[in-house]
Homo-oligomer: A and B are copies of this chain.
């Protein structure tokens, strides 16, 4: 049976409910392990920026833009602190268009922006029609993923614009259809929230936005007892990955590699030094984003190297 979880109406979005991930927000849905669910999500501004409009025009009309409003919390029956929540991403349905916004001032990579822009791109099938200033249309292959997904910390309520060990705004393109995301449960029921889906994003998300969309995300949730992880893990058919967020960026990379080594030791019987050497030879790393309050790096290892 497929359970549908709708997003809250725009009028009910608020910093204290849909603007944080934490233990103080009342669950909006209860699901059982193994259930397949469909979750409706808002785009990063709660749909407040309309096609044909710029972000600035919405602000000028007195609209208070919600920041990365999430759908949730979803209470997972049986999830207890110390467990791991396994989230299988089964599908992401995209809308007919998404937008990209470049804000006035100094951009995240240190460039003076000549002209603030909000640009809508049509999404047709799996293609994104991106139109440049000069009117040229570039067809991009969509690669949709969940930008913000996380579960409650023990006691903190963390802004939905911040990533961390609880997940959150990781902006990590590897959290896509076919992947399993693993998060350490800190609170009874896990309290999962998600939103901020991107139709496509480059490494670093350097102008601060991707192709921002609302979406419907299909998931299956399971609880794993007796596992032990610190930071988010991702598993696909081909790879194991760890996702760590920190500043400066090298600290995010170091944490991600240490977590990956711990995984190799715990689940695949490697000794630590050997794991470190192998990663020095064959690991991949992705800079997910360098624009949020903590920066995110994904460390990856092809599973073919793991089999003993």
Q: Show the binding face of A for B, using Cβ within 8 Å.
A: 14-16, 19-20, 22-24, 100, 102, 106-115, 117, 119, 130, 132-134, 136, 138, 140, 154-159, 200-211, 246-251, 253-254, 257-258, 261, 270-274, 276-287, 290, 295, 297, 305, 308
Contacts and interface: CB of A to CB of B under 8 A. Distances in A.
A226 to B, nearest CB: 22
Nearest to A22: B157
Contacts of A308: 134, 136
A42 B156 CA distance: 20
A284 B287 CA distance: 9
Given A206-B280, A254-B290, 4 more contacts: A109-B276, A112-B112, A247-B250, A285-B287
Contact of A114 (B102, B119, B273): B273
Nearest to A136: B308
A279 B107 CA distance: 13
A280 B207 contact: yes
B211 A281 contact: yes
What copy number does this chain have within its complex?
A: 4
B22 A283 contact: no
A290 B270 CA distance: 23
B206 A257 contact: yes
A249 B204 CA distance: 12
A259 B289 CA distance: 18
Contacts of A206: 257, 276, 279-280, 283
A202 B281 CA distance: 4
B204 A283 contact: yes
A100 B281 contact: yes
Contacts of A202: 279-285
Across chains A and B, which 8 residue pairs bring their CB atoms closest together, nearest first? Answer: A248-B248, A15-B155, A207-B280, A202-B283, A249-B249, A157-B157, A203-B285, A24-B24
A283 B107 contact: no
Contacts of A157: 20, 22, 24, 155-157
Contacts of A108: 254
Nearest to A17: B155
A257 B208 CA distance: 13
A117 B273 CA distance: 9
20 contacts: A16-B155, A20-B157, A22-B157, A100-B280, A102-B273, A106-B110, A110-B258, A111-B276, A114-B271, A114-B272, A115-B273, A134-B274, A200-B281, A204-B253, A204-B257, A206-B257, A206-B276, A248-B249, A249-B253, A287-B287
Nearest to A109: B254
A249 B250 CA distance: 5
B20 A277 contact: no
Given A117-B273, A273-B114, A203 B156 contact: no
Contacts of A257: 109, 204, 206
Interface centre among A102, A210, A273, A290 (most CB of B within 10 A): A273
